Amino acid sequence: MWVFIPLYLLAVKDASYIEIGILFLLSAVASIPISIFGGNLIDKIGRRKIALTVPPVLALLFLLIFLGIHFSLSTLFITVPFVLFAPGAVLQSIVDSVIVTDSTDEMDRIDAFSMTRIGANVGFSLGPAIAGFAVTYNYSILPLIPLILEIFGFFLYFKYINYNEGPHQEGKKLLSFPRKDKRFIIVSLLVSIAWFSVGPWAYILPQFFSRVDLIQYSVIGILFAANGLSVVILQLPVNKLFYKFNDMTKITIGLIIYAATFAFFGIIRNEILLLINVIFLTIGENAMSPASNSIIGKIAP
């Protein structure tokens, strides 16, 4: 959905690129508190309670976006839920990572996070492809797809997450930060900067493809679907390829591949070459993503 909602605002609501940029900036700012304190929040309130709360909230946000698009209501019906979706999605991602960390040994976490990514990207590969064709008929279809999936996700959490508390941590407060743990802070900052640098794939490229390369929405959907499908196919082979490297080296290699593919996005116009470039980008993503999750899980206080 986040791929095509900005395109909807550009094409239908006559939003400017600056306004779209502000929208993404607000989304990022709204996510910061959850990114910092989300783990503590989950530890205090509980895994199951958070896991069962987030999907209905996100479903409500998608419903508001649907109403805003379908009935041509104020842009606020779209932009406000879009911004609020970001911290909700971050919290959902954190609770998923916490559950995986709770359920696995340290040696198994790379494989566990990889399998989680593969499962998630099965949906990710289908979503943009379906949405790319759906928007050619009606933009209001966009939020209905994740709305239904969040409801389905709620029942999965309800059935399979049957514990609430994590490992007991004496004296831990709801709003606390490990100021004295320099290693954790440095690694967290490095990982955050790394992910900040790859943000254009998610947020800027759809507008670039549409307005500069003049690529149809259906093709943009296919490119993002290729990314998700490549994760499914290539994640385990990439794990084997970089098995002997430590986590920070894997992140570095992933960033180098990202940098090269972004440079090619700026000069490539052929759709087949763009598709090939997306596959190479995914290799960088496959090297980086499980490693970044694993390293934080290993050193988190």
Please write the tens of the pLDDT for every residue from 157-210.
Answer: 999 888 776 655 555 565 555 666 676 677 667 666 666 666 555 667 888 888
CATH number at residue 270: 1.20.1250.20
Average pLDDT over the chain, rounded to an integer? 82
Average pLDDT over residues 15-28: 87
CB 33 within 8 A of CB 87: yes
Alpha helices in the chain (DSSP H): 5-11, 17-45, 47-70, 76-103, 109-134, 141-160, 182-197, 200-203, 205-211, 217-241, 247-265, 271-299
Name the residue range of residue 27's domain. 5-162+180-299
Please write the tens of the pLDDT for every residue from 272-282.
Answer: 999 999 999 98
Q: How far is CA 151 from CA 94, 144, 157, 271, 295, in A?
A: 19, 11, 10, 35, 31
**pLDDT higher than 70, residue 271:** yes
pLDDT band of 232, cuts 50, 70, 90:
confident
Q: Which residues of 47-62 are buried (b: 16+ CB within 10 A; e: fewer)?
A: bbebbbbbbeebbebb
Q: How far is CA 132 from CA 4, 212, 276, in A?
A: 8, 18, 19
According to the model, what pLDDT value does residue 51 have?
A: 94
The span from the CA of 246 to the CA of 244, in Å, is 7
Note whether residue 49 is domain-resident. yes
Note whether residue 295 is domain-resident. yes
The span from the CA of 91 to the CA of 50, in Å, is 8
Average pLDDT over residues 69-78: 94
Instruction: Please report where in the chains the tokens 């059935």 appear, as a residue.
Output: 159
The span from the CA of 53 to the CA of 56, in Å, is 6
Domain count, the chain: 1
Most confident of 49-53, 223-227, 260-264, 266-270: 49-53
The span from the CA of 39 to the CA of 94, in Å, is 7
Angle of helix 47-70 versus helix 76-103 axis, rounded to 10: 160
Range of weakest confidence among 30-34, 199-203, 211-215, 216-220: 199-203
- Of 32, 285, 47, 73, which is closest to residue 167 (Cα–Cα)? 47
Long-range pairs for 214-220: beta carbons < 8 A, 24 or more residues apart: 215/271, 215/274, 217/4, 217/7, 217/132, 217/135, 217/136, 218/132, 218/133, 218/136, 219/132, 219/271, 220/3, 220/4, 220/7, 220/128, 220/132
Provide the whole-model pTM.
0.75
Note whether residue 274 is domain-resident. yes
Note whether residue 217 is domain-resident. yes
Q: Residues near 260 by Cβ (< 8 Å), separated by ≥ 6?
A: 280
Note whether residue 175 is domain-resident. no
**pLDDT higher than 90, residue 81:** yes
Please write the tens of the pLDDT for every residue from 93-144.
Answer: 889 888 888 877 767 776 777 777 677 777 766 776 677 777 777 888 889 9
Instruction: Between 113 and 299, name the one with better pLDDT.
Output: 113
According to the model, what pLDDT value does residue 32 have?
A: 81
pLDDT band of 67, cuts 50, 70, 90:
very high
The span from the CA of 108 to the CA of 12, in Å, is 47
Q: Residues near 43 by Cβ (< 8 Å), separated by ≥ 6?
A: 166, 169, 172
Note whether residue 15 is domain-resident. yes
Note whether residue 174 is domain-resident. no
Long-range pairs for 66-75: beta carbons < 8 A, 24 or more residues apart: 66/140, 66/143, 66/144, 66/147, 69/8, 69/139, 69/140, 69/142, 69/143, 70/140, 75/9, 75/13, 75/15
**pLDDT higher than 70, residue 69:** yes
Note whether residue 116 is domain-resident. yes
- Of 130, 146, 35, 49, which is closest to residue 91 (Cα–Cα)? 35
